[in-house]
A and B are shown apart, each in its own frame.
Chain A
Amino acid sequence: MKATTIARLLVVAFCVGLLELLCRTGQMPRLVIIPPSEMFIAMIGLLRQPQILDSLAFTVMVVAVSGVMSVVMGVLIGIVIHATPRLREVVEPVLSAYYAIPNFIFYPLFIVVFGLGAPSLIALAVLFAIGAMVIATIDGLDSIPPIYRRVASVFQIGYRKELWHIRLPAAAPYLLTGMKLVVVYAFIAVIAGEFLLSNKGVGHEIAFAYNNFDNASMYGLILLVILLILLINALLRLVRAPGSRGTELAR
C-alpha cells in the first residue's frame, strides 16, 4: 500500500475516532449525532430489513436509468453541438452557466408533469447530470489531435465511421470523466430528490427517519449512502480509457 493511501486512511481513522470519543464522552449530544460505531451497527441492522433493501434497490435503479439516459443523450447533444458551430456559439454560454442554475427549483414542475415517484426523480437527475456529459463530449471532441482527422481523410472512411471509430474513441478519456461525473451527479440528484419527489428510496427513508426523530436509522442510512458512493467512486477510478495505461514493453 502506498504511503499516501496509508496517510489518507489514518486521517479518516483519526476523524472517526475523534467523533466516537466526543460522542461517548457526552461532548456531542446524542440528539445531534450518535457515535460512528452505533451508526455502523444501525446500518447493518437496516440492511436486514426488506423495506430498506427495496428502497436501496429503487435508488440504485433510478440512478442507473438516469445515468444511462444522461450519458446517451449528453453524448448525442455534445456531438450535434460540436458539429454545428453556429449552434455552439449560441449554446456555449448557456452550458458554461449550466451549474449556476439550481435545477432543484424545477421540482414542482416535475411533480405536475410526472407525479411523485421514479419518472420525476429521473427527470431531475437527468437535468442535473446531463450538462456534465454534454460539456465533456464537446471538450473531448475538441481535444482530438488534428492528425487523426487527416488519417480518416486518407482512408476515406466517411463521417459516421470517423465519428464511431476515431473521434469518440479518441475522446474517450474525456467521455469517461463525463460518465464519472454523471454517476456522482445522478446519485446526488436522486437522493436529494427522494426527500421531496418520492415515497420510496434511500433519500425518502432518511427523511422519514429524520421526521420521526429516529437518529439511529437516519445516521445508519447516511453512512450507507456514504459507503455506497465511496464504493462507486473507487470502481469508477478503476475504469480507464483503452490505451491510456502503458507498460514499458519496448522502450
Chain B
Amino acid sequence: MNVGVRTVGAVPHVTLRGVSKIYPARGKNAAVHALGPVDLDLTRGEFFSIVGPSGCGKSTILDLLSGLGGPSEGEIRCNGMDVGGKVPAGVGVVFQDDASFPWLTVRENASFGLRHNGTDPAVIKERVDYFLNFVGLAKFADAMPAQLSGGMRQRLCIVRTLVMKPDLIILDEPFGALDQQTRFLMGDELLRIWRETNATIVLVTHSLDEAAILSDRIGVMSARPGRFLKFINTEWERERDSRNASTPRFGQITSELWSVLREESIKSMGRVEAR
C-alpha cells in the first residue's frame, strides 16, 4: 500500500508518481541512487514535513518539487502541470543557507523577485511593507543583511519568498543554523504565515520536534535511496503553536517518528562509517 497517495478528499496540489533520482557516475565516483521511487500527494493548504536520516534524499526531493532538478524517472505535477525540471509558477523556496544578498538592503532583498518580474512599484512597496512588518523586520528595512542576526536574515529570505505570493512554499531546513529557542519561535512565525497565506508548505527538517510541532502530516524517509516508510498525521488544530510541545500528543508523535527513524539512522550511519 502506498501511504503517500490520498484517494479521498480535495484535488491534490502536488503529486509525485514513481519519482526516482539517480545521479550519474562522474569520473571515479559511481552512480548514486539518491531517491525513490516515491509517490506522494500534497493537499492544497497542507503543512507537510519530511524527516529522514542524513543523506536519504530529503533535499533531492525538494529540488525535484521546486523544479530545480528533474527526476530520473517518474512524474511530478503541480496544479496539474508537469514540473519536469522547471520551476513552476507559484512556487517559493527558502533554503537552509543564508541566501540574502549582502549588497542589497533588507527592503531591496525582500523586493528582489518582484522587481524582476515587472510588478508595479506601488504593489511592491505595499507587499514588502506588509510582510516586513508581519515578521518584525519593518524597522530594519534600510539595514544591510550584515547588520542582522542569523534568524533575522532567514526571516528576510522567507519574506522575499512570501512577497511573491506563492501557493506552494518549500523550505529546506530553514532554521537549521538557529538555536532551539529561536527555532521554536521561528516555527510559530511560520505557522502564522501558513495560516495567513493558506499556502501549501513542504518542510524538510532534521528536527523531529520541529516536524511534530509544525506539521499536519509527516513523511518519514528511509536511508538512501530515500523512500517514504511511513506517514504520520499529527491531528493538530490549524490554530497551533510551539506550546504543543508540552502536550502528551507531541510525545506520542516524536516517539512514533523515532521508532521508525532509529533503524534507518543506524543504517545511514553504518554506511558513513563503512566509507
- Interface, chain A (partner B; CB < 8 A): 145, 147-148, 150-151, 153-157, 161, 165-166, 169-170, 172, 241-251
* A249 and B87 contacting across the interface, CB-CB below 8 Å: no
- Closest approach, in angstroms, between the C-beta of B223 and any C-beta of chain A? 25
Cβ-defined contact, B146 with A244, below 8 A: yes
Does B112 contact A243, Cβ atoms closer than 8 Å? no
A145-B140 contact in complex given A155-B113, A243-B146, A244-B102, C-beta closer than 8 Å? no
Q: How far is the CB of A170 from chain B (nearest CB, A)?
A: 7
How near does chain A come to B116, taking the closest CB pair, in angstroms? 5
Is B244 engaged at the interface, CB distance under 8 Å to the other chain? no
Distance to closest chain A CB from B118 (angstroms): 11
* Count, A-B residue pairs, CB within 8 A: 71
Shortest CB–CB separation between residue A47 and chain B, in angstroms?
A: 40
Say yes or no: A241-B103 contact (C-beta < 8 A), given A145-B97, A150-B95: yes
Question: Among A169, A244, A246, A250, which residue has its beta carbon within 8 angstroms of that of B152?
Answer: A250
Are the CB atoms of B149 and A250 closer together than 8 Å?
A: yes
Instruction: List residues of chain A with CB within 8 A of the CB of B149.
Output: 250-251
Shortest beta-carbon distance from A24 to chain B in Å: 52
Q: Are A250 and B140 interface neighbours, CB within 8 A?
A: yes
Question: What residues of chain B lie closer than 8 Å to A153, measured between beta carbons?
Answer: 68, 87
Contact B95 A155 (CB under 8 A): no
Q: Which partner residue on chain B sits nearest A146 by CB separation?
A: B97
Q: Do A243 and B99 have beta carbons less than 8 Å apart?
A: no
Q: Taking each of B147, B149, B164, which has the highest tally of chain A beta carbons within 10 Å of its own beta carbon? A: B147
On chain B, the number of residues with a Cβ less than 8 Å from chain A's Cβ atoms is: 28
> Is the Cβ of B103 less than 8 Å from the Cβ of A157?
no
A166-B101 CB under 8 A given contacts A154-B92, A156-B87, A243-B145: yes
Question: Inside 8 A of A156's CB, which chain B residues have their CB?
Answer: 87
Question: Contact partner of B103 among A145, A170, A251, CB < 8 A?
Answer: A170
Q: Are A250 and B147 in contact (CB under 8 A)?
A: yes
Do A243 and B68 touch across chains, with their CB atoms under 8 A apart? no
Q: Which residue of A lies closest to B93 (CB)?
A: A154
Cα distance, A220 to B257, chains bound together (Å): 80
Given the interface pairs A147-B97, A170-B101, A170-B103, the reply to whether A247 lies near B147 with Cβ below 8 Å is: yes
In angstroms, how far is the closest chain B Cβ from the Cβ of A25?
54
* B117 surroundings in chain A (CB, below 8 A): 155
**Bound state CA distance, A161 and B115, in angstroms?**
11
Contacts of B91 in A (CB 8 A): 154
Give the shortest distance, in Å, between B105 (CB) and chain A (any CB): 9
Nearest chain B CB to A94 CB, angstrom units: 25
The answer to whether the Cβ of B143 comes within 8 Å of any Cβ in the partner chain is yes
B144 adjacent to chain A (CB < 8 Å): yes
